[in-house]
Amino acid sequence: MTVLEGELDRVARSGDTALLLMVDVDHFKQVNDCYGHNVGDQALQHITHLLRRCVRPMDTMARYGGEEFVIVLPACQSAYGKTIADRIRQTVEHHPLPWAPGQSLALTVSIGGAYALQWIRSTKELWIERADQQLYYAKSQGRNCVCIEPQPDSTVSAEEKNLLFSGLIDPIKSPEDAAPNTAPASCSPTGNV
């Protein structure tokens, strides 16, 4: 949670990018029910190992709860975000868990992702909710899928800049414009003192 807050603060100040991925092990309850909680624990450790192989040293990965993981990817452009999420999904799919001699268990993950809103002060709860919504979409498409919210366009047009900043700075006036054309304070309009 501390990392999420730090990333949101950085993105709001710098306008940089950051992606939050929510990774959920598909049909994990069936793993526990069919093979036991010991194999379920092995599966979580196996997936943790695979996830670590897929992320950069600067990324933060944590178990979010149950069979869910979160990964925070700072300075992550949209093309890279989709690539890393697909790499994670494929790595898990192609590396089954060897749980007994001569036996392995195929595992898959569904992944949802959302970018932090650039230049906007948001909350970690909202960021998690948006990524979780994408995870829900991935699961509803049959699992073993990746759904990432499009990166918001934070560019500002020249017209928008003008509207945002107009009236904030007074134009520089010449000395004649700066002082009103009035008589000195010691003179009265009639010339009497």
Catalytic positions are 67
Burial 138-169 (b: 16+ CB within 10 A, else e): bbeeeebbbbbbebeeeeeeeeeeeeeeeeee
Report how far apart, in Å, the C-alpha atoms of 45 and of each of 5, 63, 103, 169 are: 27, 11, 17, 58
Burial class (CB in 10 A: 0-12, 13-18, 19+), 114: buried
Report how far apart, in Å, the C-alpha atoms of 43 and of each of 24, 100, 104 are: 12, 12, 10
Token pair of 68 as six digits: 């869910």
88 DSSP assignment: H
State which amino acid sits at residue 18. A
**Whole-angstrom distance, CA of residue 8 vs CA of residue 128:** 11
Tokens 């950085």 appear where?
10
